[in-house]
Structure 1
Amino acid sequence: MNISYLTIRALTFPFSLLPFKAIHLIGRGCGTLAYYLLPHFRKRTLSNLSLAENLELPDIKKTAKASFQNLAITLLEYPKFARI
């Protein structure tokens, strides 16, 4: 078997055992962390949202952070769905 596949399976297996509520809590935390630690992607997201939506800056920032959180939740849910 491919070592990359085995590594990913080993790292994601614990998430398949967690309830969805815990996955969502961890995902929101990881998404918030990514929002602050990845300035390049944060700036791109803020720029794209300002072009696409007619929102005020606080609303754009709130939507951008929620987008990062949603992406993290989605990524953490994949191992859970693989077991269903």
Structure 2
Amino acid sequence: MKATYGEVNGEGRAIFKDPITDDGTKKSAKGLMKIDLIDGKYHLTDNVSWEEEKQGELKEVFRDGKLLVDQSLNEIRTRIKSEVSIEA
């Protein structure tokens, strides 16, 4: 899992990479992210506020090493197949 946001002494910081020698393909998402499901496809918006992030599709599953959401892999696959168009 790549980190895009962290806090140091209570201060939020965006974590990202944007190499000088890159042709544009290695630039990463920056800061808090919001994922929206639009017409069966996921869309990323990065560097959003905490309020915007909470409105997206990403949900907290682990906190401090504790599982918050208990779902089987089969349940996750079934949910994804019903919500997202999968292109080969």
Q: Shared fold (TM-score greater than 0.5)?
A: no
Q: Give the number of the structure whose residues are more often strand, by fraction.
A: 2
TM-score (ref. length: structure 1)? 0.26
TM-score (ref. length: structure 2)? 0.26
1 or 2 for the larger relative contact order (CA 8 Å, sep ≥6)? 1
